[in-house]
Structure 1
Amino acid sequence: MTAQHPRIVQYDDAAVAEAAALIRAGGIVAVPTETVYGLAADATDAEAVARIYAAKGRPSFNPLIVHLPDLAAAERIAIFDSHACALATRWWPGPLTLVLPLRPDSGIASLVTAGLDTIAIRVPAHRAMQALLAATGRPLAAPSANASNAISPTRAAHVAASLRERVPLILDDGPTSAGLESTIVGSAMILRPGPITAEQLGLPNAPPSEQITAPGQLATHYAPAKPLRLDAISRAPDEWLIGFGAITGDDTLSPAGNPIEAAARLFDALHRADAAPPPRIAIAPIPAAGIGAAINDRLRRAAHR
């Protein structure tokens, strides 16, 4: 039997209208954000949210991020204290997710929060997700649009290759700009590093924990199908080497050693490495300062087996 593929439609008003109609009918749609492509559904519709989990093969104890058009909409769903308001005012719209107490009258399906009394929310900056929020008039749950624990998608083609017939429609607006999932903050700590750095936020990273309190905390996550070796300064004969700076390879995250460029290219490079002939992947060391902390967080989870 020939594998089926989803429809990929280029971003325009008609494409947004088609995607919004699918969402309102209880369906799921892949849509770009500034971080990665997300798999969106109406966060108030339990059956629609269940379709996200089923399409991804995602464990139900792993909560989802809910996307909203603005702070006012977010305040109708979550309880903001003064610190959360300050963060939202400074960084929204943008790649920051806040984990906050859920309002009892939020209307959000309990499957979204995995039964927790908190909710992960953000206001995205990307025009496609904002257009879809406006067209549906619904809060949208949207984890990354890939099979659970696989490499996150930064292009429409990545979504199609990972989810195939499990997603009916992909809204294509080119490669994402940040290339890493959003920074997640809860209880005045960084629960997941991301494009907005600890230095920018002035917050500490949360200590390691077995308890899942926010998306993206599974030990194994963002993983290629092949074994991944970190901090490689040279290539073994059976490896595809992803370079950085002075360390060249089959591919490179940034010839200039720019960590922001490396973040934007990370998942795209891992997808290419996974598709290359060598059975193993190696990746050069990435400095841990700034956004390098988020890159190394993703790489550690990708290499964890």
Structure 2
Amino acid sequence: MKTIYFTSEELDEAASLIKLGELVAFPTETVYGLGADATNSEAVKKVYQAKGRPSDNPLIVHLSDEKELVKYVEKLPEQAYSLMEKFWPGPLTLIFKIKKGSLPSVVTGGLDTAAFRIPDNKATLELISKAGIPLVGPSANTSGKPSPTQVSHVFHDLQGKIAGIIDDGPTRVGLESTVLDLSADEPVILRPGNVTEKEIEQVIGKLGNHRLEVLGEEQPKAPGMKYKHYSPNTSVWLVDESKLSWNEAIQWAKSEGYRVGILAPLDVCLSFKDEVTDSFNLTDKNNVEEASQLLFSGLRYLDDSSQDLDVILTSVYPEIGMGLAYMNRLNKAAEGHVPS
């Protein structure tokens, strides 16, 4: 299959492909999504096949207008209206109980709930509107790998597997949306993102405790809760400067005979440029928002480095505000690896 590039001005053909049951990657403010007709089971199955995604991992449904929710949702909680008014379009996904049979089970993972959001991207909103159908939109990458924040990332993973890619430049946020479960007795964050717990609580009051993972055979309600995610092929290790200095971490890696890449703020990259094989700059040490925007790009850059790295040493940030989302992704990528 030839994968066609579309600009944000060439959406009619992209929408036609979607309506024919084909897959088209689309831009959002968070990461690039892999679009398919959410009402077409066969089209959605192609998403799982292209990504190599586990079939019990539910998908997020992307809409262009919140009025479309009534077709699928059993009853909208009162809190939903305030959240949609404040954060939609934007990087907040809401989980609701849905009407029986309103969406294929391949979208919901067989659950009686589904996740919805309206992305904050003009081209994608126009694409959904032109197609006239809701779109599933998991990250447009090979399952388990760092999510794509640039068109080149999508092409790297999915060329020849999907019909098209809409090129709208780099994404603004860089991490997937916050997922908030409104189908339970109390609202609970299932995946942290750019919309923080504090911001949500300012709108609807206190949330329940985060539930970011499921274990064993339990069915996840949201992406990112169960399976390996965000990991490059190169081993990722966490550097917590309160426990181990960058110099100590780099010397440890070199003593093991590793070719070392670092994903770190500019001052660290400059200080150790002669000590490591390759590096990627996360800009200001205290700016977790910029670090989040660059995290996946940095992991991909170092993973694809011509220097054939053995390890990627990465900066940790306090798990406060956006730092919770950054560390959620990074902890999954590192799988607990810490230099010693």
Bigger Cα Rg? 2
Q: Summarize the alignment of residues 192-231 of structure 1 with structure 2, pairs less than 5 Å apart.
A: 192-202=191-201, 203=207, 204-206=209-211, 208-210=213-215, 211=218, 212-231=220-239
Distance 1:7 1:160, change over 3 A: same
Amino acid at match of 1:253: L
Residue 258 of structure 1 aligns with which residue? 287
Question: Which residue among 124, 127, 131 is the counterpart of 1:129?
Answer: 124
2:300 is the counterpart of 1:271: yes
Tell me the TM-score normalized by structure 2.
Answer: 0.84
> What secondary structure does 2:105 align onto?
coil
Question: How many Å apart are 1:76 and its aligned residue?
Answer: 2.3
Give ranges in structure 1 of 5+ residues lacking alignment: none
Question: How many Å apart are 1:84 and its aligned residue?
Answer: 2.0
2:41 is the counterpart of 1:39: no
Q: Summarize the alignment of residues 4-15 of structure 1 with structure 2, pairs less than 5 Å apart.
A: 6-12=3-9, 15=10
Distance in 2 separating the partners of 1:178 and 1:223: 19
Give ranges in structure 2 of 5+ residues lacking alignment: 202-206, 241-245, 273-278
> What secondary structure does 1:84 align onto?
helix
Q: Is the 8 A contact 1:10 1:173 kept in 2?
A: yes
Deviations 1:170-197 (A, max 9, x none): 1000000010000000030100001111
Query: Which portions of structure 1, spanning 4 or more consecutive aligned residues, are displaced by more than 4 angstroms?
Result: none
Question: Which residue among 91, 96, 102 is the counterpart of 2:92?
Answer: 96
2:159 is the counterpart of 1:151: no
Amino acid at match of 1:227: S
Question: How many Å apart are 1:246 and its aligned residue?
Answer: 4.4
Residue 276 of structure 2 aligns with which residue? none
> What secondary structure does 2:106 align onto?
coil
Q: Is the 8 A contact 1:67 1:141 kept in 2?
A: yes
Question: How many Å apart are 1:99 and its aligned residue?
Answer: 0.9
Question: How many Å apart are 1:303 and its aligned residue?
Answer: 1.5
Question: Which residue among 217, 240, 245 is the counterpart of 2:261?
Answer: 240
Q: Is the 8 A contact 1:69 1:123 kept in 2?
A: yes
Q: Is the 8 A contact 2:214 2:226 kept in 1?
A: no
> What secondary structure does 1:270 align onto?
helix
Question: How many Å apart are 1:263 and its aligned residue?
Answer: 1.1
2:76 is the counterpart of 1:80: yes
2:111 is the counterpart of 1:116: yes
Q: Pairwise CA RMSD of aligned residues?
A: 1.7
Deviations 1:220-270 (A, max 9, x none): 101111110012524333210011364336112123521111111111111
Distance in 2 separating the partners of 1:120 and 1:245: 37
Q: Is the 8 A contact 2:213 2:226 kept in 1?
A: no
Question: How many Å apart are 1:16 and its aligned residue?
Answer: 0.6
